[in-house]
Structure formats: C-alpha cells, structure tokens
C-alpha cells in the first residue's frame, strides 16, 4: 500500500468503508469500491483500483454528487492503493462539476485534464537523461551528424532526444555506447528557485500605480474580485499586474498567468525574470514528460512546502491542482485561442473567472482590445474596470492610415501597394524595422493546374491544400495531411503546370526579398516559431537588430516589444471579414489593432498602413480613426438587435460520421425532434461549412437563446431522448467561436 501524501490532508470522516470513484471512461460511469481496513481515503483522493484484470486510476468523489445506484457491499472489490499526491481540493472538484455542466461535457473528460501528467502520480524518483559530451563518434553517418547538430545544449530522455533530432532511438543509443552522449541522473522533483517580490521594483506611472494598488488590495483581501485591465498597447499592463503577483508572493500564495500562445511565453519569461530574479514555472504542450511531472508535483505542493509560486501556461494550466492559489491573470484575454475547439470545448477566460469565484480570489483579465462580453460585464459592474489610457515612458500611439487597393494597386503579380513599399524602403534607409501582417500561413492558399483547372484538395477535409515552399509540401491546416508537390498534374498529367493562387506569408516574404534583396527577413508563424526555443531565438535576433523586415501571422500581433519597429503594414485587412464568422468584425478589429500596437513602442514614432479594398467598412473606418469606443458601441447595438452574445446565448450541435448518409440522417432526426420553446430558436440542420473534417462528414445546428433560457438543460433533455448509430458522434459547443 502507498502512503498518503501527508497526514494534514486527512479531513472529514475519519473512516470510509466504501468509496465512489470518478474514472476516466465516461461510458462506464462512476464505480463503487470497498475501502480496505487500515486505508484512509477522503473525497478528492487519487487512488488505484481494479477493473477486471486491469488496474485503473480514479478520484474519490462525494457519492451523492455522482449518478448511479449504490452497489451492494458484498459485490464491492477493494481499492488497491492511495497514490502519493494530495487530494483534489473541494473548490477544484466544484469547478470540474461546473465546467462539465456548463459545457455539456462528461465530468470524466473534464477531470482528466487535472491529472495531465501520469508520471506525477508516482512517488519521488529519479530519471536518466542524456546530453552531448563533446566527443565525436568514431564513424560518421548523416543521421549521426543530424543528431549532433540538433542536440547541442539539449538534455532529455532518449525518446525525447530522438523526437527532437528526428532520428531513431537506435542512432542515439549507438552514440551512448561510443561516449558521445552521456547519462545524467536527474531528481524528478528538484525544487524551483524562489522568486523575490522585491528584486527589481519598477517605477510606475500614476495610472499604473493606481491600478496596481487596487490589485494589491484585492490580493490582500483574499476574496473573489474580477478585474478588467483595459489599457492601450504599450501601456504597461504586465508591469501593473506584476505588482499583484509580488503581493501574492509575499503572502506565500500561488499565481496562475494564462497566455494564449506558446510563442509569447519566452518574451514573458524574460520580463518576469527581470522583475522577480527567477523564471516562473512553465506549463504547455511542448514540455518534456519529466518537466511536466516536476511542474505538476510542485504545483500540488504550493509555496508553503517549497513548491511552485508562479505558473505561466496555456489554457490547460487552468485545471492543475494548485495547493494555495491566490491570484489568476488572463493576459490577452480577448484571444480566441483561449477557446478549446475539441474534446471539452471550454473557454479558459470564462472558466478562469469561475475558478477564482470557487476559490475566493481575485482574477485579472488584461487586454488592449477586450472582448465585447468582458466590456459588458464591466459596464454592468460585475467586473471592476482599470483603465491605462496612455503608453508607458512617453511613447506615442502610431499614426494609422488606410491604403485603398482599388486606387493604389500593387504591381502585376504583387501584393504590396506602392505606399507600403515606400514605407519599408524608408525604414531600411533609417535602420529601422518593419512588420508585415497577413494571417495566412504558407506560400499560397490554393494550388491549381493552369492546363485543366484541377485544384489540390485535402482527401480528409473540405479544404484546399496550402502550399508551403519553405518545407516543400502541400498541407491541410485542419487535419495535418501533407504531401509533396507533384511534378505533373494528377488529373491531366501536364508537367510544370501548377499555379499558386493568392498570397500567404511566404509569398509576401519572397516579394520583399525581390524588392529589397539586401533586407534581412524573418517569417514568423506557428510553422517557424513552433517551439519556445525558436521563439526565443527570433526575439533575440529582432532585439539585436539582426532582422529588418518581419512577415508574420497573428502570432506577432501581441506581446512583443521591439523599440526599433516603426512600421506595420496590414497586407489584407479584409481577410478576417470573409466567411460566416458571427464575430468577424470584432475579431478583425482586435487583430488589426493589436498588430498596429507593435509600431512605435520606443522613442521613435510609429506608422501603420492598412491595405483594404473596403475603406468605408465600419471596422476599417474605426481602425483608421482610432475610435475604438465608436466601433464597440456600433457592434454592441448590432449584437443586441440580433440577440447575440452577450445579450443572447449561442450553442452549436455538430453531428458527424464517416458515412455521409448516416450523418445526414442523424442530423435530420435531430432537427425533427427540436424543442419548440419561445426563448430558444434552432437553426438547421445544414451541412457544416467544413462539411468533411478529418474523414468525418459533418452537419451543424445552431441554437440562439435568450439569457433567461436554461440552455444546457434544454440540450441535455433533447439529446438524451435520442439514440444514434454507433458511428455517429454528436458534440455540443456552448458559446462557440468557430463556425466551421
């Protein structure tokens, strides 16, 4: 039997002779077990239990909060062990229940996100990692040379090094045998260095100080208090909420900072270390398994026992078992990437507010372009709004002008207008930097045959394959399918006939290279900055002045501070307004306003040029005028009229199957039994815009409900009365952001 984490976690009834477990198979539901004599379990305890011939992990839950009739005592099998981790606190269990209920998701699927590191559930241990010794192998091969180049300065397990170097594990084991790689014994639970709240205290502006004082007061009060920091780009929102983090450190409480992109993590880590002397604990999908285990267990310990103090992570960090959480910060809180579109379709921004409410602590949403829902909550007095109206250090907001592409036409086969080309030329002459923004990865969104018109389409999705010339591939951005560009058309067999249609960032970079052959270019997308290490290298090169022109996607619209960047060019401001996205105008405004905010953040003035074919579109007019309030006022009235969020509720139901006829019939059956309610309107079913995704045919229904409607209960009762074939999946998306 494995001992409990600590005697201090034994609370509630002294003895439980039976336990109901939440297990991670939603199809089976909760299971009852007998607690062996001498074993002490409490709600929230993570335990090992038998299931048939297997051993499973489950969480002890309050029996009256899970469905199912009790199993007779005589049929109960005994629990095997209590795992050496602290019980999940009651506040976290209530959050899991709320998330499952609100997003119409299985509780088991939500709880699985808490135990995101299987290795963390075992006791203290060591592991063996490997690193280069500096010796050279006796025999050189292309694979060995590739490994030596890729693993310089790296240390990890053989499996992780193999994935990083893209060579087989056998190649690396051969290098171990020759002494080129050496083993290193690592303590899996070695403590992190402690942050110092007084390490480098900044001088704040009066506006920053006023906001910081209010946040510090809230941390001291230790009660639920939601804040919206509404500050222009470059106003020092991060430095402001750092003071609240400092207060949480003094009180020996943990802080969670959520960031929308891994690429933003490196810039944040640098700023954090400059302020507090050490980097925070990091949590995201690129962590090695040993790093995830170490972080998880440090988070579960808390500062009182030498554990994690500040955690910076992606949305999944929200469900980790913090021992002493005292503050939550959601940076760039407007970002769409906080909404998960698969599995449990939760919005981390909203769940963060609910976690703060259950835990009784302040939560800070920070953004230069807040979501309309957040602004409405502030308007209603639910959130306290803290305004930072000007840039830090005397820097001025950039000037913004539109370029009408119907009048200022780019040259033949070009995408950059004459004013934008002139602007880049001027910056190059002055030794300043430029940023060109186009939210489209790759070289071209569509490739076709000029002879027969054949279009390259993904075999698994209703999407065109995107040409990526940097990696010589055609790729689907929805399912990940890749193929090499063929030498001849697969339909008519004509050689050298493929034509790229439309621009992606790689094509814009080629145009810049052709116009300015001496300019030093960087393409910044999730393809080129897919890891924290690559992002850190990119930031260092820009800050060192080694890059003249950046061409990037939405990855570069936020979080970066480059003082020498004085020109931002938006290549196609109309791109985000296309399609059926019901939040298209708001997203376009946020994206363009954020990327515009990268210009002129230092002493030099900035300029933004927005290329558009619709200069009179309301969102473009508002951007050019810098009149955010007018845009949000108009958008608010449009939403109110349409009973769209935040004035109404949306939910999507997606029906899918590998068989098109089966999916269509299931959607028809669902539509035929729709609820007839005065406060809920059901639209559809109809084929989804992305009618085929990852090999599954898809149909959608959209529900538009009044705020007063019990939308989740309506959906549960509606779907619960139906039975679908085994091959049909029906998923629910509450508060959807994606409409593909």
Average per-residue pLDDT for the chain: 91
Cβ neighbour number for residue 582 with a 10 Å cutoff: 16
pLDDT at 264: 66
Boundary of a domain, candidates 583, 603, 636: 636
* Mean per-residue pLDDT, 463-476: 92
pLDDT score at 13: 43
pLDDT at 380: 94
Query: Do 310 and 418 share a domain, yes or no?
Result: no
Q: Angle 91-94-100 (CA atoms, 0-180°, nearest 5)?
A: 145
Same domain, yes or no: 427 and 552: yes
Residue 6 has pLDDT above 60, yes or no: no
14 & 32 share domain: yes
Q: Above 50 in pLDDT, residue 41?
A: yes
Quick: pLDDT tens for 494-553: 898 889 899 999 999 999 999 999 999 999 998 888 777 788 888 889 989 999 999 999
Beta-strand ranges (E) seen in 482-574 are 482-483, 498-501, 521-524, 549-552, 565-570
For residues 248 and 362, state if they share a domain: yes
pTM here is: 0.89
Does residue 225 sit in the same domain as residue 301? Answer: yes
Task: Choose between 496 and 349: higher pLDDT.
Answer: 349
Residue 673 lies in a domain: yes
- Given a cut of 80, whether residue 10 has pLDDT beyond it is no
- Position 156 scores a pLDDT of 85
Residue at 196 is within a domain: no
In a domain, 213, yes or no: yes
The pLDDT of 670-697, averaged and rounded, is: 95
Number of domains present in the structure of the chain: 5
pLDDT band at residue 195 under the 50/70/90 scheme: very high
The CB density around residue 92, as the number of other CB atoms within 10 Å, is 21
Same domain as 244, residue 321: yes
pLDDT at 154: 87
Q: What is the DSSP string of 675-720?
A: --BTTEEEEEEEEEEEEEETTEEEEEEEEEEETTS-HHHHHHHHHH
Does 578 have pLDDT greater than 90?
no
* Residue 163 or residue 16, greater confidence: 163
Query: What's residue 7's pLDDT?
Result: 33
Bigger pLDDT: 591 or 256? 256
Express as a percent the part of the chain with pLDDT over 70.
97
The H or E element spanning position 730 is strand 729-734
Structural domain containing residue 678: 648-734
Q: How confident is the model at residue 159 (pLDDT cuts 50, 70, 90)?
A: confident
Any domain includes 109: no
The reply to whether 412 and 556 lie within a common domain is yes
What's the mean pLDDT in 366-387?
95
Closest to 228 (Cα-Cα) out of 348, 397, 369: 369
Q: How far apart are CA 247 and CA 195, in angstroms?
A: 12
Please check whether residues 430 and 516 belong to one and the same domain: yes
Least confident span in 370-384, 527-541, 668-682: 527-541
Residue written as tokens 């389409």?
Answer: 457
The band of 580, judged by pLDDT with boundaries at 50, 70 and 90, is low
Q: Would you say residue 223 lies in a domain? A: yes
Q: Do 250 and 359 belong to one domain?
A: yes
Segment 597-631, tens digit of pLDDT: 888 888 889 999 999 999 999 999 999 998 888 99
DSSP 163-175: HHHTS-HHHHHHH
Query: What's the pLDDT tens digit per position in 78-122?
Result: 999 999 999 999 999 999 999 999 999 999 999 999 998 878 888
Same domain, 549 and 420: yes
Please report, for the domain that includes residue 687, its CATH number.
Answer: 3.30.70.600
Asked if residue 11 has pLDDT above 50, the reply is no
Amino acid 54: pLDDT: 93
Q: Residue 349 is part of a domain; what is its CATH number?
A: 3.40.50.300
Distance CA 170, CA 469 (A): 31
Same domain, 134 and 26: no
Do 416 and 271 reside in the same domain of the chain? no
Write down which residue in 336, 369, 393 finishes a domain. 393
Q: How far apart are CA 224 and CA 502, in angstroms?
A: 49
């Amino acid at each position: 039997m494995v001992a409990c984490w600590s005697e201090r976690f034994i609370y509630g009834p002294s003895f439980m002779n039976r336990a109901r477990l939440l297990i991670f198979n939603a199809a089976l539901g909760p299971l009852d077990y007998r607690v062996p004599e001498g074993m002490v379990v409490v709600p929230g305890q993570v335990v090992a239990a038998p299931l048939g011939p297997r051993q499973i992990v489950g969480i002890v839950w309050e029996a009256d909060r899970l469905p199912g009739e009790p199993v007779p005592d005589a049929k109960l099998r005994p629990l095997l062990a209590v795992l050496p981790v602290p019980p999940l606190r009651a506040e976290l269990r209530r959050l899991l229940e709320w998330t499952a209920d609100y997003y119409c998701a299985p509780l088991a699927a939500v709880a699985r996100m808490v135990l995101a590191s299987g290795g963390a559930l075992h006791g203290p241990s060591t592991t063996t990692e490997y690193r280069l010794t500096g010796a050279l192998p006796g025999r050189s091969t292309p694979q060995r040379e590739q490994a030596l180049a890729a693993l310089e300065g790296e240390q990890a397990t053989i499996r992780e090094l193999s994935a990083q170097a893209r060579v087989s594990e056998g190649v690396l084991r051969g290098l171990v045998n020759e002494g080129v790689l050496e083993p290193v014994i690592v303590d899996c639970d070695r403590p992190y260095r402690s942050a110092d709240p007084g390490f480098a205290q900044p001088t704040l502006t009066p506006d920053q100080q006023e906001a910081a004082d209010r946040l510090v007061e809230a941390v001291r009060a230790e009660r639920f208090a939601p804040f919206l920091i509404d500050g222009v780009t470059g106003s020092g929102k991060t430095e402001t909420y750092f003071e609240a983090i400092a207060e949480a450190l003094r009180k020996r409480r943990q802080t969670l900072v959520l960031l929308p992109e891994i690429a933003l993590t490196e810039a944040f880590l640098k700023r954090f270390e400059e302020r507090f002397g050490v980097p925070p604990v990091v949590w995201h999908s690129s962590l090695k398994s040993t790093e995830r285990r170490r972080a998880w267990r440090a988070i579960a310990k808390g500062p009182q026992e030498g554990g994690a103090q500040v955690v910076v992570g992606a949305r999944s960090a929200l469900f980790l078992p913090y021992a002493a959480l005292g503050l939550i910060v959601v940076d760039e809180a407007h970002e769409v990437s906080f909404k998960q579109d698969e599995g449990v379709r939760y919005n981390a921004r909203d769940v963060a507010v609910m976690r703060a409410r259950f835990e009784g602590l302040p939560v800070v949403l920070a953004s230069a372009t807040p979501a309309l829902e957040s602004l409405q909550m502030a308007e209603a007095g639910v959130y306290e709004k803290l305004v930072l109206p000007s840039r830090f250090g005397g820097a001025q907001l950039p000037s913004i002008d539109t370029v009408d592409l119907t009048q200022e036409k780019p040259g033949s086969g070009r995408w950059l207008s004459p004013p934008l080309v002139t602007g880049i030329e001027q910056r190059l002459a002055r030794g300043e930097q430029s940023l060109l923004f186009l939210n489209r990865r790759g070289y071209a969104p569509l490739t076709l045959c000029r002879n027969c018109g054949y279009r390259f389409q993904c075999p698994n999705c209703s999407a065109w394959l995107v040409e990526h010339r940097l990696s010589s591939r055609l790729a689907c951005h929805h399912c990940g399918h890749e193929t090499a560009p063929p030498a001849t058309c697969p339909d008519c067999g004509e050689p050298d006939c493929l034509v790229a249609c439309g621009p992606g960032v790689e094509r814009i970079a080629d145009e810049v290279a052709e116009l300015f052959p001496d300019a030093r270019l960087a393409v910044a997308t999730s393809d080129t900055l897919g890891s924290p290490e690559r992002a850190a290298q990119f930031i260092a090169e820009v800050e060192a002045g080694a890059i003249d022109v950046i061409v990037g996607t939405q990855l570069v619209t936020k979080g970066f501070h480059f003082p020498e960047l004085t020109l931002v060019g938006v290549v196609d401001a109309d791109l985000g307004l296309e399609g059926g996205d019901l939040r298209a105008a708001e997203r376009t405004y946020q994206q363009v306003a954020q990327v515009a905010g990268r210009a002129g953040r230092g002493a030099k003035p900035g300029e933004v040029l927005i290329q558009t074919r619709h200069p009179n579109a309301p969102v473009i007019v508002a951007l050019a005028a810098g009149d955010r309030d007018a845009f949000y006022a108009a958008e608010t009235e449009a939403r109110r009229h349409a009973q769209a969020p935040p004035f109404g509720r949306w939910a999507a139901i997606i029906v899918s199957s590998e068989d098109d006829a089966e999916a269509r019939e299931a959607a028809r059956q669902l539509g035929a039994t729709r609820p007839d309610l005065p406060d809920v309107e059901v639209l559809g079913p109809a084929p989804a815009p992305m009618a085929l995704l990852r090999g599954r045919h898809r149909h959608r229904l959209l529900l538009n409900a009044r705020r007063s409607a019990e939308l989740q209960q309506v959906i549960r009762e509606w779907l619960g009365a139906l039975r679908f074939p085994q091959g049909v999946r029906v998923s629910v998306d509450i508060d959807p952001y994606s409409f593909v």
